[in-house]
Structure 1
């Protein structure tokens, strides 16, 4: 069995194969072609490759890769993708298979990195002379019991008191909160546009990292969410104080698991946290209806995550070197710097 490399323009030919392998493994919407194809449309330059290990129709591994610099290769990792573009039937990342990929790559490739991997799907490798495993981030998730009340009573008294205080504040100030859930293709564009307006008005806008109207990020989210509307898995949460939109989340919902991709709120709103109240209302309703079992945040762990859940895991990168001498030379160079 060996690796075969294809140009990225051939990816439409691999849609069925890619989705079949994803469904056999994690079935994550973040690795579905409905998510991956728009990533390729908006965040690639055409030099990327599709690496296939085994038969083209039923491979053991398939990945989207690119050369970063100086014969260093890695899985494709746009900033809008929580997971690296790697699918493998073998969860253990076999060293021989990985080193054979390095030898197959154009030029004299020195190393290959599998980026942003979830230990739920891929077993984190042990460090060896040619393989190095690195922490990426800690990330949180919530696993709900059968009732929201059971979950809520398990949280800290401080969190429960704070939510009650905020709800009381809204009532005393004649502010009527309202949650809307948008999940059809005819309102995805407006939902992303409204999201961009809020995010661009805050600190992310000040540092030019916000989703903005007409930019590649907004076009990606619109196209991607519209793709998932076809399977009823796209979801935009929108929260209002009276008639004012004050918070929004861009999400995917598959098999009763909510994936929160992006979140924003109006930063000028004081005395309450509209994004937290929005999620409280959504969780309470969907858990009690049996429509939600789990929430995945897939972002760096924050203090507020710890108040809502105790479930934390560490995502990782795996670096594979052509030989042990390259790994040693890299370590020595790092120590000298």
Structure 2
């Protein structure tokens, strides 16, 4: 058994088929771990220091992950802010201790963030493996029919949706539902999505997709790659000839992952985002293309009302040994705020000073 490290930018393109085979074997081809999602992540957001870590046993690939150095003595599995999952394909028997020993510079800590317990074999083992709840995500099991699902939602949610639908009719608004799956149509729909999102509060905060920014290009590439496999979809709601709401999603037979959603704030009195979500869920129950819908978000109480289940996405800290964990704890108590954990550099320096003791 051994771990090897190489440049992700250089080696991932050729390694992608093996990555996807491992994803199929371990996690039933999770869309957010697919190379069609990971490759644009590396291309557009990966730092030059990003490494492809591979674990082989008797010449066979067992685990793989994308990791990057965070500070002297500290590493982190790569992550993109708005995505609630990190690119780590770790087998149940993956040797985390050997991975830490294989990292250059006497690695004492590896942050493994954004782990979905249904698609991660990492488990707490204090004090050298610690877990922290991060975000409560939601899902919808596409079992039975839509009417049964809808009757299981709260009376408050059902009444609200009925009120918005009546408001559209009473105002004489023309409603059109559109759906796109072809690659060229998908690209145009993603650009329309980006323009709509940029016009809202995310645009004012500088966090929106736009056809000309990095986020817009990332989701354009992801959606187009999945569309070439007939695995991407964009839904739109148009009200009186105006784009009112849009949703981007990718999927496999196992699950449909909702990537992004936005709506026209000038049409907020009709709650177009909620109306579109209801329509999408109803269509997916009827089409039976997927087993589940996953949202991968830090769900609000209003979003929980749509869900049939929920679970916590967790962050993990994997330490080289007990001494590493003790040093970090000591620095925390001294309020030094280490970069690898809370934003500073004191802990990393302290850990480096102990590195000679850990050989």
Name the TM-score, length of structure 2 as normaliser. 0.89
What CA distance in whole angstroms lies between the structure 2 residues aligned with 1:58 and 1:317? 28
How do residues 208-227 of structure 1 correspond to structure 2 at under 5 angstroms?
Answer: 208-227=206-225
1:19 aligns with 2:17: no
- Give the superposition deviation at 1:69: 1.9
Aligned to 1:4: 4
What CA distance in whole angstroms lies between the structure 2 residues aligned with 1:3 and 1:198? 45
SS at match of 2:68: strand
Residues 267-290 of structure 1 show CA distances to partners (whole Å, capped at 9, x for unaligned) of 121322101101111222331233
- Give the superposition deviation at 1:57: 6.6
How do residues 63-212 of structure 1 correspond to structure 2 at under 5 angstroms?
Answer: 63-90=65-92, 97-212=95-210
What CA distance in whole angstroms lies between the structure 1 residues aligned with 2:286 and 2:140? 15
What CA distance in whole angstroms lies between the structure 2 residues aligned with 1:2 and 1:320? 18
SS at match of 1:36: helix
What CA distance in whole angstroms lies between the structure 2 residues aligned with 1:278 and 1:192? 16
SS at match of 2:106: coil
Aligned to 1:307: 305
SS at match of 2:208: coil
SS at match of 2:267: coil
Unpaired segments ≥5 residues, structure 1: none
Residues 159-190 of structure 1 show CA distances to partners (whole Å, capped at 9, x for unaligned) of 11111111111011111222111111112222
SS at match of 1:120: helix
Asked if the contact 1:124/1:316 (under 8 Å) is kept, the reply is: no
- Give the superposition deviation at 1:58: 3.2
Unpaired segments ≥5 residues, structure 2: 336-359
SS at match of 1:4: strand
1:29 to 7, 28, 31: 31
More displaced, 285-294 or 65-74?
A: 285-294
Name the TM-score, length of structure 1 as normaliser. 0.94
- Give the superposition deviation at 1:124: 4.7
- Give the superposition deviation at 1:89: 2.5
More displaced, 299-308 or 117-126?
A: 117-126
